[in-house]
Chain A
Amino acid sequence: MLFEALTLQLGYNATLVAIGAMLLGISAGATGTFLFLRKRALVSDAISHATLPGIGLAFIVMVWLGMDGRSLPGLLIGSALSAWIGLLCVQWLTGGTRLSEDSAIGAVLSVFFGAGIVLLTVIQGMSAGRQAGLDSLLLGSTAGMLFSDAVLIAGGGALVLMLTLLLRRPMSLVAFDSDFAAASGLNVPRIDLATMGLVLAVTVVGLKIVGLILIVALLIIPPVTARFWTERTEHVWLIAGALGGASGYIGAAISASAPALPTGPIIVLVAFAFFAVSLLFSPARGVLSSVLRHRQYQRRVHLRQGLLALAQGQPIYEGYTLRLLQREGLARPDGVATGDGQARAAKALLDEKRWEILRGLQAHEATAARYDGLTGLETILTEDQLRDLDTRIAAPREIAP
């Protein structure tokens, strides 16, 4: 069943939803990257919650004008307008008063959401029969999606993606170093506003599929995940877009494969699964690799210190060091060095001595700073330099009679 869903064989509607969700995921991941790199990820939370009063008002206005209140384009326009007002409120509270941005975000999201809930209850009271469907925008609902809705979502997603591609260079510059961007003549506030506009567009487009509470996840989780795999801005948004698209597509497919699997939450959980895997296993920043790196470092330190102790004939009491030396065949269980161990120990001692001499020499100041007690000097200096150092080590000399 899942296989059929993934290969788009579950029928017309499921296919539409899957493609729409994929486009939405790609544009959300790519757009969210700039928000995340600008360290303003949670502004999207305020924007998405601020859509609710607009949805309610749009419904009321459309019914009042004698139209069908559930018409998706109308609701989306209303939600965009009120989200825009919410965004302006965040900026007004942050810029116009001494409140910090997080307070402004929290205030706007809760107040707008509260006002939206009030409007929803008003709508419930005014015409119970026609209300059906509005609260589905809270958590998204793809059941019974119209063809025109799907086209609207797919088209909107594609449009946002195109705009993101067009604006990606100035947006990454601002996200990376806004002072430098301003100094190079970019209008930083305007570019920030454009980023926010794109985020708003993603939110509005995603209302129907993911719902307004969870759309934030699609804007935040893929960029955060992508950050584990690369250090380059231009790669972050590419990977984030790909991850977002994959989450949208796989999530929509899973949700179509069985009943009672709501699309929005499944998409978010798929994205979170990608995140969890990256957090644990990514090669550069993952938990597993940093544990391994730490273990290896620990091993090198213990081995080196153990060898130095052997070379100086000191007894080793530390259990891990002793086990390590034994396992490498450098020492016997009673702590006495093997032949191999003696050779390695002598080499370690020589290396320490070379470093010690090196530290006393002005000419090697830069090299001396690289001393960490682990690196062999022969990996840094040339043969000639080493030979020069060795002449300074006080070698045993013949005693003049």
Chain B
Amino acid sequence: MTGAEFVPLSLTPILIGIFAAIACALPGNFLVLRRQALIGDAISHVVLPGIVVAFLLTGAVTAWPMMLGAAGAALISVVLIEAIRRLGRIETGAAMGVVFTAMFAAGVLLLERSDTSSVHLDVEHALMGNLESLIWLEATGWRSLLDPQALAGLPPELPRLALVLALVIAFTWVFWRPLKISTFDEGFAQVLGMRTDLLGIALVMIAAIAAVAAFDAVGSIIVIAMFICPPAAARLMTDDLARQVGWSVVFATLSAILGYVFAGYGPLWLGGSDSVSAAGMIATVSGVILALAALFGPRRRGMMA
């Protein structure tokens, strides 16, 4: 394939996929270690009512209000889960199940009741995203990367995700030590004078921001898969947190690239004619990586060996 074909049609979706995958996988490392992996699942479900409400308020499918709506819904769900857990003395998993299913149902109902026929907003879009359509038509080849005029035509999701990814990296880098200590030994972190409760909330909020930004571009399946699969696979590779984060970035990148390529070209290799869902394929590839790590990973059984 030549640059003239690759750059406009495949470069931006692959980059967006990679950015989304890494932005979710980084906080995912800590969520998996803290046994909060399903927070990602809950957040990605409640994003739907958030964007629907934002749409109803603004009357248009525009990025920033929707992201605000989604972030608001994520925040509300986290608060609700915590409130139900404490007020009703119910275990976290069940409290989560109550909140995210009810909010998702409310989102679907709102969507059905409101007139969204004129705009591209439906449940399937929310689940699958449309990575394939984020192409860069202005580009003519590799040279376009240096052409300001062509760069102006980049899909807006790309710089947005790059920004969010930078934020996530900055958060992980700045709070590395407190995150590490509080994840492995919360009591010790408190003795050192760390506000572990605030740190926990900050981690969930960063995860929510990553989820919302990624969701906008690639749909909620990838978000859940990338929160959990690359970090979980990385956890089976090493005992060292820094190396685990490194592995998870590698796995996330690999899933995004291979998933996109298989979805776009796999059917052609097998003699088919149409491509399949890239979001679904990226999730599938990350699952295959996790399965391989679970079968052959050097640290799959933990410390006992």
Binding site for B on A (CB under 8 A): 36, 39-42, 44-45, 92-93, 96-100, 102-107, 109-118, 120-122, 124-125, 135, 138-139, 213-214, 216-217, 219-221, 223-224, 227-228, 260-262, 264-266, 268-269, 271-272, 275, 279, 285, 287, 290
Given contacts A114-B225, A117-B128, A125-B272, contact A217 B38 (CB under 8 A): no
The reply to whether A98 and B88 contact each other, CB–CB distance below 8 Å, is no
- A118 interface neighbour in B87, B95, B231, B281, Cβ under 8 Å: B281
The reply to whether B228 and A107 contact each other, CB–CB distance below 8 Å, is yes
- B102 interface neighbour in A111, A221, A290, Cβ under 8 Å: A221
List the count of A-B residue pairs having beta carbons below 8 Å apart. 217
The reply to whether A266 and B109 contact each other, CB–CB distance below 8 Å, is yes
Given contacts A99-B235, A275-B98, contact A109 B224 (CB under 8 A): yes
Least CB distance from B79 to A in Å reads 14
The reply to whether B109 and A261 contact each other, CB–CB distance below 8 Å, is yes
Contact with A along B285-305 (1 / 0, CB 8 A): 011001000100101111000
Binding site for A on B (CB under 8 A): 32, 35-38, 40-41, 45, 84, 87-91, 93-98, 101-102, 104-106, 108-109, 112-113, 123-124, 127-128, 221-222, 224-225, 227-229, 231-232, 235-236, 263, 267, 272-277, 279-284, 286-287, 290, 294, 297, 299-302
Given contacts A45-B97, A106-B227, A114-B283, contact A224 B113 (CB under 8 A): no
- A96 interface neighbour in B40, B281, B294, Cβ under 8 Å: B294
Which secondary structure characterizes the binding site on chain A? helix
The reply to whether A269 and B106 contact each other, CB–CB distance below 8 Å, is yes
Residue among B41, B102, B227, B272 with most chain A CB within 10 A: B102
The reply to whether A217 and B105 contact each other, CB–CB distance below 8 Å, is yes
The chain A residue with its CB closest to the CB of B274 is A125
Chain B residues, CB < 8 A from A40? 93
9 more CB-based (< 8 A) A-B contacts, given A39-B94, A107-B225, A285-B89: A42-B38, A98-B300, A99-B232, A107-B232, A113-B224, A117-B279, A118-B277, A261-B113, A266-B109
Chain A residues, CB < 8 A from B102? 217, 221, 268-269, 271-272, 275
- A220 interface neighbour in B36, B89, B101, B282, Cβ under 8 Å: B101
The reply to whether A268 and B101 contact each other, CB–CB distance below 8 Å, is yes
Given contacts A40-B93, A102-B38, contact A117 B224 (CB under 8 A): no
Chain A residues, CB < 8 A from B284? 111, 114-115, 118
The reply to whether A221 and B106 contact each other, CB–CB distance below 8 Å, is no
Given contacts A114-B279, A118-B263, contact A221 B236 (CB under 8 A): no
The chain B residue with its CB closest to the CB of A260 is B112
A-B interface, 4 closest residue pairs, ranked by CB to CB distance from nearest: A114-B283, A111-B287, A117-B280, A217-B101
The chain B residue with its CB closest to the CB of A117 is B280
Given contacts A102-B35, A221-B101, A272-B105, contact A117 B127 (CB under 8 A): yes
Given contacts A111-B287, A279-B84, contact A36 B128 (CB under 8 A): no
The reply to whether B105 and A116 contact each other, CB–CB distance below 8 Å, is no
